[in-house]
Amino acid sequence: MLPALFIIWLRRRVPESPRWLAQNGHESQARAVGRAPDGAPVQVTAADRERHAPPAEGARAFLQPQLFSRQWRRRTVFTSAPWFLMDIATYGVGIFTPTLLASFALSRADSTFIADGIASTKGTAVLDVFLVVGFVVAVLLIDRVGRIPLQLTGFAVMAIALCVLAASTQMSGGAKAHLALVVLGFALFNTLMNLGPNATTFALPAEVFPSEMCAAGHGFAAGCGKLGAALGTFLFPVMLAGIGEAALLYAVAVACACGFLITLVFRVETRGHSLDQLSGAQAGTLAPRVTPP
């Protein structure tokens, strides 16, 4: 409870964005907030004051129907569906990595349950290093390469890595005889997950919606992500017991492939675009683009 109260206190001290302040008649505060990072003077333009629609009130504020209007539903799908699919894979595979390792890689016929648990936990700790590597590389590349190339690459390699893991269980001798493939599969999955969609799905909703819709768009996308996380967490062990490791990993790989396809079809690259282009009057029809690495 104390950490939550501390976050609430911090959030009360965080200023609104300059564009939101300008849209709501607080131009002096907008200039002050905009000037804070480097001290440079900030001019509030007509585009900064532009508002697409008055904020929703009452039940409409909860439902946020503007997210599904013709102008914005493409971006709603683009930000929410990949996050949903990514969290199915992230939480399913991530939380149950020790279970997977114990079931097809590290357990031995003469080992005990406790020994298997210790071995799988140690293996998971080693593999988690690749999660940190992925985030570090994402920080270095996200503005150089762009969000969409990273998200597409991440989903594609995640799907391939899961297929490698699934295939290792079907080879002669099982996964125990192909430990190098198991390590390779998990290493690729963890690295590209954090290099790609686990970083980009969080950033994109804050960039592709105008300021009066930004919180609603990001909240809806995050909610879809948490729904995927719940499904991955609770269904993964059930499906693991019901259909086995290989079939389950192939199914999660299909989810990652769907994330790739949805990103490709509905993509909007924010790199190289100003806030006026992303959230101005032309934002709803801004041509999707992918900036090559």
* Helix H or strand E segment including 64: none
Cβ(204)–Cβ(147) below 8 Å: yes
> Tens digit of pLDDT for each residue in 103-143?
755 555 444 444 444 445 556 667 778 888 988 999 999 88
> Tens digit of pLDDT for each residue in 28-85?
666 665 655 555 555 555 555 555 555 566 566 556 788 888 888 899 999 999 999 9
How sure is the predictor about 292, in pLDDT bands with cuts at 50, 70 and 90?
very low
> Tens digit of pLDDT for each residue in 242-279?
998 889 999 999 999 999 999 999 988 777 665 556 65
- Alpha helices, DSSP H, located in 196-270: 197-203, 205-208, 211-243, 245-266
Cβ(150)–Cβ(171) below 8 Å: no
pTM for the structure as a whole: 0.76
Predicted local distance difference test score (pLDDT) of residue 115: 41
Instruction: Using DSSP, state whether 269 is helix, strand or coil.
Output: coil
Between the alpha carbon of residue 50 and those of residues 25, 31, 46, 201, 217, the distances in Å are 11, 16, 6, 26, 18
* Domains of the chain in sequence order: 86-276 (1.20.1250.20)
